[in-house]
Chains A and B, each alone.
Chain A
Amino acid sequence: MPTVEVSHIHKSFGPTQAVDDVSFRVERGEIFGLLGPNGAGKTTTIRIILDIFKPDSGQVSVLGGSLDETKKNRIGYLPEERGLYKDQKLETVLLYLGTLKGMEMSAANERLGEWLHRFDLYQHRHKKVQELSRGMQQKAQIIATLLHEPDLIIVDEPFLGLDPVNTRLIKEVIEEQRYAGRTIIMSTHQMYQVEALCNRIVLVNHGRTVLYGEVEQIKRDFAGNAVVIEGQGDFSDLPGVLQTRRENSDWHLALQPGNNPQDVFRALATREGIKIERFEIAEPSLDDIFISVVKGDDEVEGVDNG
C-alpha cells in the first residue's frame, strides 16, 4: 500500500488551472522528488495532499486513506513559507510544536535536546527565535518537522538558505529518515540533490505531469538527449539544442526532444571556426532532463513560463 497516492487531481483558482490531472504514488520508505519550475503547481499539490486545499476533482490517499486529525500527528511538514514564533524562545516554540503533534512534553523535551545538540543549537535554546541567524532558524524548522518522528515527511525546498556544511547535514538527516523506514516527499530546485537522494520523481509543469518514474530509468530513457563536446570555438546557438553550458573545457549540450546527436554533429560540420577534439553522447544529468522537458513542454504549449 503506497504511503501517498494522488489520482487525477485538478485544482483551479479562478481562470487559472493550478493542477491539471496530476497522479503519482509514493511508496513507503522512499525519497520521492516532486519537481517543477516556479508556478508549476508543486506547492498546491502538497497543500492538497495535506488537506489544506480541497481538490476540485480527483482523489488523494495519505497513510492508507483520507487525511484525518490522527494522521496529522504522523506527518511532518516543512513548508516553503518558513515561520516560527519570532518573539519566543527557541526551546519553547519547538516544544509547543512537538506537543501539537501529539507528543508528551517529557518525550518532546528529551528528544529535542538530542536534536538541538546535533544541529549545534543547544546553546541557543533560550534565545528568542528572532535572535537566531536565518540558517539557524531553518535548522530549527527542520527539527520541528522531525521531532515527533513522523511516518510521512514532506519538505518543500529543505536546503534553502543553508551553507554547504548544513546542506550536507540536512542531506544526511533525510537519508537517515529513509533508512528508518520513513517516507519523504521532497520538493526542490536543486537537481543534484534530487539526483543524489531521490529514488523516484514526478516532474510537473503548468500543473500537468510531464515526467514520472525512477530516476535511473528516466536518465536511461533520456540518454542521447545530451552531448559533451571538447574543442575550440563557439558551440552555442546550435539548431535542435535547448541549452548550452560550459563546464571547464567541456561544452554540455541539452538536446530538444526528437533531435539526436547525429543532427547536432551534422550542424557542427557546417559551422565555421570551430575545432572538435571530442564528441561524446552523454548520460544526461537530471538538470539537463529538467530543462529539456520543461523547455520542450513550453515550446509545445507556446507559452513562455518566465
Chain B
Amino acid sequence: MGKFWLVAKREFLLRVRRRTFLVATFAVPLGFAALIAVGASIAIRSEDKLPIGYVDNSGVLAPAIAPSLDEGDQTVEIRAYQDVSVAQTDLETGDIQAYIVLPEDYRQSQQVTVYYWEDKPSDDAWEAFNDFLRTNLLVDLPEDRRQLVLKELAWTVRSVDGRRQVTAGIGILNLILPFIASFIFYLSVMTSGGYLLQAVADEKENRTIEVMVTSLTPEQFIGGKAAGLLAVVLTQLTVWIITIVIALITAATMLESFPTLSVPWSFLLVVTLYFLPTFVLIAGIMTAIGVMVEEAKQGNQIAGVINLVFMAPWFLSTLIFTNPDHPVLVVLTMIPFSAFLTTAMRWSMTAIPAWQLVVSWLLLVASAGFSLWVSARIFRLGMLRYGKQFSLRTTLGTLRNRRSQIKPRAHPAEVGQDG
C-alpha cells in the first residue's frame, strides 16, 4: 500500500472509531427518523375517518350529489341531519367527528358554522365536505365542466430557456430538499476541513511532523490526511442520505398525502462539480491554519470564524427564497468562499444564467489551486516552528519567496530547538 493510502487509512480508521463519530453518524439519522415518526403520527392522527355531519338550512346541498372519486381515494362519510339536536347527540356519542350547519342565507353569506369537540375536523373530512359542497353548488353545470372545475388544474411553469420547470402539485418538498441537501453537503465539506485542521495541528502538537517529513513527502502527508478525512465525512453523509431516503420512502408509503418526489439530477451534477474544488479550497485553508497555530484548540477558534464566512449565504436564505437573482446573490455566487452554497441554494429557486455558473466554477477552481499552493508553502515553513507564533509578515514573506522550495525566513531559534 502506498504511503498516501497508509496515511489516508490511518486517518479514516482513527476518526470512525471515535465515539463522537459514531454518535454524530447514527444519532442524526435516528433523530431524523424520530422526527419523521412524530410527523407521521401527527398526520395519521389528523386523518380521522369518522363521518362528518351537516345540517343544511339553505337547501344548497339538497341534490346530495356525491363527488366522483379517483381510484384509490379514501373519503370520509358525509352524513345529513335534519335536526341540529340529533347531530349534536351523535357528536357527543362520538359517532361523528364534527358537524357543519349551513344557514339559510348561505348563498349570500357563504359562512358555515362548525361544531366539534377538542379536535378540529381532519383534513380528509374537510376535503370530503368541500368536494361535496362544491359538487352540489355546481349541480347546474354539465358533468364534464363540473369535473374540470372540481379537479385541481395541472400546470407547469417553465423558464424561457427551458432549463428549469416547476410542475404544480409536486409540492414544496422538491424545492426545499435541494436546499437542505446543499446545506448538509456543505456542512460535510466544512466538517472534513475542520478535521484536517485538527489533524495537522495534532501532528505539530505531538511533535511528529519531523519524523513524518523524513518518511514521506508533504504531498503524501497532507493529501493522505485530506483523503482519509474526506472519506470519513462521505461515510457519514452516505449513512445520512440512506436514512433520509428510507425515511422518505417509508413516509410516502404510509401517508397518502405525501408529495411525489423526483430525483434532482441537475442539482446533483452541480453539487458534484462544486464539491471537490470547494473541499480543496477549505482543505488548503485549514492546513495552513493547522500549521500556523501552536495548539489545535487555537486553530478551532480561527476555523469557527472561517466557517461563518463560508456560511454567509445561509444567513441570506430569505433573500434566496424571495429574490434568488438579487445582485448580492450573484456576487456571492462568484466569490469562491460562498460559491458552492449560494449556487446550490439558488438552484432550486431560479434558473441561474450559464455564464454565472461557468465564471463562478472557474474562479472556485482557480482559488482552490491557489489555496493548495499557499498551504504547501506555509506547511514547509511552519512544520518545525514549535512554540512560536506565526506572524502575518512571516507568512507573506514566505509566499513572496519563490527561490527555494523549503527556505524558512526565520531566526534559527524560531525553527525548533536548534543544537
CB pair B214 A52 closer than 8 Å: yes
CB pair A52 B384 closer than 8 Å: yes
Asked if B418 CB lies within 8 Å of chain A CBs, one says yes
Q: How far is the CA of A39 from the CA of B412 in the complex (A)?
A: 8
Residue of A nearest to B202 (CB): A85
User: Can you list, as one digit per residue, whether each of A260-304 has a CB less than 8 Å from chain B (1) or not (0)?
Assistant: 000000000000000000000000000000000000000000000
Chain B residues whose CB sits within 8 angstroms of the CB of A38 once the complex forms: 418-419
State which of A13, A42, A53, A99 has its C-beta within 8 Å of the C-beta of B419: A42
- Given the known interface contacts A52-B384, A81-B386, A99-B6, the answer about A13 and B211 at a Cβ–Cβ threshold of 8 Å is no
Chain B residues whose CB sits within 8 angstroms of the CB of A187 once the complex forms: 419
Asked if A135 CB lies within 8 Å of chain B CBs, one says no
Q: How far is the CA of A50 from the CA of B209 in the complex (A)?
A: 13
- Given the known interface contacts A72-B215, A99-B6, the answer about A83 and B208 at a Cβ–Cβ threshold of 8 Å is yes
CB pair A79 B211 closer than 8 Å: yes
CB pair A43 B216 closer than 8 Å: no
Chain A residues whose CB sits within 8 angstroms of the CB of B207 once the complex forms: 79, 81-83
CB pair B410 A14 closer than 8 Å: yes
Using a CB-CB cutoff of 8 Å, which residues 26-75 of chain A contact chain B?
36, 38-44, 47, 50-54, 69, 72-73, 75
Chain B residues whose CB sits within 8 angstroms of the CB of A80 once the complex forms: 416-417, 419
User: Can you list, as one digit per residue, whether each of A6-40 has a CB less than 8 Å from chain B (1) or not (0)?
Assistant: 00000001101010000000000000000010111
Asked if A192 CB lies within 8 Å of chain B CBs, one says no
Asked if B396 CB lies within 8 Å of chain A CBs, one says no
State which of A43, A50, A73, A86 has its C-beta within 8 Å of the C-beta of B416: A43
Q: How far is the CA of A14 from the CA of B410 in the complex (A)?
A: 6
Contact count band on B: 35 or more
Asked if A157 CB lies within 8 Å of chain B CBs, one says yes
Q: How far is the CA of A13 from the CA of B207 in the complex (A)?
A: 22
Chain B residues whose CB sits within 8 angstroms of the CB of A13 once the complex forms: 408-412, 414-415
State which of B3, B6, B405, B414 has its C-beta within 8 Å of the C-beta of A54: B405
At the interface, is chain A mostly helix, strand, loop or mixed? loop
Chain B residues whose CB sits within 8 angstroms of the CB of A77 once the complex forms: 210-211, 214
Contact count band on A: 35 or more
Asked if A179 CB lies within 8 Å of chain B CBs, one says no
Q: Which of A43, A73, A75, A84 has the most CB of B within 10 A?
A: A43
27 contacts between A and B (CB under 8 A): A13-B414, A14-B410, A14-B411, A18-B418, A39-B413, A42-B418, A47-B384, A52-B213, A52-B214, A52-B384, A53-B406, A53-B407, A72-B215, A73-B215, A79-B211, A80-B419, A81-B384, A82-B207, A83-B209, A85-B202, A85-B208, A88-B14, A100-B6, A100-B7, A100-B212, A100-B215, A101-B215
Give me the 10 closest cross-chain CB pairs, A-B, nearest first: A83-B207, A42-B419, A79-B210, A43-B419, A83-B208, A100-B215, A18-B412, A81-B207, A43-B418, A83-B206
Interface residues of B (CB under 8 A from A): 1, 3, 6-7, 10, 14, 202, 206-217, 384, 386, 404-419
Not counting A43-B418, A83-B207, A99-B6, a sample of 4 additional A-B residue pairs whose C-beta atoms are within 8 angstroms of each other reads A44-B412, A53-B408, A72-B214, A101-B215
